Amino acid sequence: MNDLSVTTLDIDPKELEATVRTVIDEAKRRGATQAEAAVSVDAGLSVAVRLGDVETLEYHSDRGLGVTVYFDQRKGSASSADLSREALVQTVDKAVSIARYTAEDPCAGLAESALMATTVPDLDLCHPWPLTPDKAIALALECEQAARNVDPRITNSEGAGINSHQGLRVYGNSHGFVGSIPSTNHSLSCAVVASDTAGMERDYWYDSARAHDDMVAPSTIGRIAGERTVRRLGARKIETVNAPVLFPPELARGLVGHFVAGIRGAPQYRKATFLLDSVGQQIFPDFVNIGERPHLLRAAGSAPMDNEGVATHDRELVSDGVVQGYVLSSYSARKLGLQTTGNAGGVHNLLVQPSFSGGLDELAREMQTGFLVSELMGQGVNGMTGDYSRGAAGFWVENGQISYPVHEVTIAGNLRDMFKNIVAIGNDIDTRGRVRSGSVLLQQMTIAGA
């Protein structure tokens, strides 16, 4: 294979900014009262290996344009993967044509001009990795082999995969705003299977970062994947019981994700959430604090602006257990009679403040007896009622120590009760996603077994 990297972009942001301005000007010439456009260009490399052989090697290269025009309160949108001048004009024409046939919506329109990101700070989000296919294959193979070397009972593999991605997104609108965000994301993962006389078990591990040199070594990822898999051998079924449940950091952030889903603008104005009108309500114990920090350097959820060009800023979503605000775009904000929170496109680095001076092991000792979750399966969460029921595997804890692995159980409860019953939040914070949380110990859930 050649030695050239296929994971880096060589595109001038000013070229794409000019494209966005051209689209906005074309829309205004056609009589649009407001218009917005976004152009994105992406490139990446993905490699998957299994049992020492290369399964897939894929190079990704994508580009696209999205344009939205407004004729007062009538809206039309169109998109194109062709960025030629002729295609840009045709895309604007399509959006204009659609707008002429849509019904008026009093909440339609751009975010307010005063909220635009007048300065776009460098958040250190772009770290291209000059990764060749040969190097990617070698790293993935190293990772998988490290997992397979952990224990002779590791008899099979689901493989190891490496991904490297670089992108550039430019957004602009008829307020005169144009901003660009270059970014990179790199990841490496591995999953293996172990077997003994009792059966087979699988587990995995991974790492991801904006800069590849921030990730742990492939051999470390593989070793952890192997150790996690072997630890699950000999798993048992248990009788149905009500008991404390401990979520490790990589799963605890999912609980926070359910909270965020409940306070988004769309379910609020549709009255389709278990957290309806929850601002000012005590949803969590008073030691729970959750803040949004969009400007952390190199973080997975960092962004100087949201998808509407609105400047992002630090804010508190939960203070002393009380909900402080919703997660809003300009449209959902207008539907609720509020102002956008700069969350068009999602949240930006939610930090869950620890309440306990220890991590998973210390919380297990604090729990004494209960269920430590290591894997969740299925999508059994009802956003309307808050009912929660998911398949799970993990470990039974006795006297503060892992006693034996458990599989084929379902953990169930209601999210409102689960949030109120949080006992402690560990300081073992997982920084790999948009939600940064430590382990979370719940006082009680129903664990349905055999």
Contact 201, 194 (CB under 8 A): yes
Q: Give the pLDDT band (50/70/90) at residue 7.
A: low
pLDDT in tens, 150-196: 999 999 999 999 999 999 999 999 999 999 999 999 999 999 999 99
Q: Which of 117-126, 203-212, 416-425 has the lowest mean pLDDT?
A: 117-126
| Residue 219 and residue 298 in one domain | no
Shared-domain flag, residues 219 and 321? no
Would you state the structure tokens that stand for residue 108, as one six-digit string? 């339609």
What's the pLDDT score for residue 212? 96
Last residue of a domain, which of 230, 247, 264? 230
Q: Which pLDDT does position 157 carry in this prediction? A: 97
Whether 168 is in a domain gets the answer yes
pLDDT at 1: 40
Output the pLDDT for position 85: 93
- Nearest to residue 43, comparing CAs of 82, 17, 67, 11? 11
Phi, psi of 379, deg, nearest 5: -125, 40
Contact 96, 77 (CB under 8 A): no
Q: What is the per-residue pLDDT for 379?
A: 85
For residue 205, give both structure tokens.
């591990």
Q: Output the pLDDT for position 46.
A: 97
Indicate whether 243 and 224 sit together in one domain: no
The answer to whether residue 3 is domain-embedded is no
Please say whether the beta carbons of 324 and 316 come within 8 A. Answer: yes
Contact by Cβ (8 Å): 279, 265 = no
- In which element (H, E) is residue 331 found? helix 330-336
Residue that terminates a domain, selected from 209, 230, 251: 230
Q: To which residue do tokens 């019981």 refer?
A: 241
Q: Same domain for 267 and 118?
A: no
Q: Structure tokens of 239?
A: 């009788």
What is the band of 450 on the pLDDT scale with cuts at 50, 70, 90? low
User: What is the Rg, in whole angstroms, of the alpha carbon atoms belonging to the chain?
Assistant: 24
42 and 61 Cβ atoms separated by less than 8 Å: yes
CA distance 55 to 144: 13
Residue 296 lies in a domain: yes
Instruction: Evaluate whether residue 6 is within a structural domain.
Output: no
| pLDDT over 80 (residue 10) | no
- How many H-runs (helices) and E-runs (strands) does the chain carry? 9, 17
Give residue 449's pLDDT.
Answer: 87
Residue 205 lies in a domain: yes
d(CA 27, CA 359): 54
Q: Which two tokens stand for residue 99?
A: 């707008």
| Domain co-membership, 115 together with 240 | no
| Enclosing domain of residue 352 | 235-450
Q: Which amino acid is at 32?
A: A
Output the pLDDT for position 250: 96
Q: How confident is the model at residue 54 (pLDDT cuts 50, 70, 90)?
A: very high
Write down the residue that tokens 């051999």 correspond to. 219
CATH of the domain at 156: 3.30.2290.10
In this structure, the answer to whether residues 163 and 61 fall within a common structural domain is: yes
Whether 3 has a pLDDT exceeding 70, the answer reads no
Mean pLDDT of 95-105: 95
In this predicted model, what pLDDT tens digit does every residue of 266-303 receive, in sequence order?
999 999 999 999 999 999 999 999 999 999 999 999 99
Q: Are 233 and 198 in contact (CB under 8 A)?
A: yes
| pTM attached to this predicted model | 0.93
Could you tell me if 347 and 423 lie in one domain? yes
> 184 in a domain, yes or no?
yes
Write down the residue that tokens 């949201």 correspond to.
Answer: 306
What pLDDT, on the 0 to 100 scale, is given for residue 405? 97
Q: According to the model, what pLDDT value does residue 197 have?
A: 87
Residue 48, pLDDT > 70, answer yes
Residues 251 and 327 in one domain: yes
- pLDDT of amino acid 378: 87
Q: What is the DSSP letter of 280?
A: T
Q: 137-140: long-range contacts (C-beta < 8 A, 24 or more apart)?
A: 137/47, 137/49, 137/54, 137/57, 139/188, 139/218, 140/47, 140/48, 140/49, 140/188, 140/218
Give the closest residue to 347 by CA, choosing from 321, 324, 327. Answer: 327
- Which of 230, 264, 290 represents a domain boundary (last residue)? 230
Give the relative orientation of helices 85-99 and 13-29 as an angle to the nearest 10 degrees: 40
Could you report the per-residue pLDDT of 112-159, keeping only the tens digit for each?
999 999 988 999 999 999 999 999 999 999 999 999 999 999 999 999
The answer to the question of residue 2 being in a domain is: no
Domain co-membership, 79 together with 108:
yes
* 257 and 306 together in one domain: yes
- Overall domain count for the chain: 2
- C-alpha span between 378 and 368 (Å, rounded): 28
Share of the chain above pLDDT 70, in %: 98
164 and 312 within one domain: no
- Indicate if 391 and 433 belong to the same structural domain: yes
What burial letters (b/e) apply to 115-135, b meaning 16+ CB within 10 Å?
bbbeeeeebebbbbbebbbeb
Q: Is residue 210 part of a domain?
A: yes
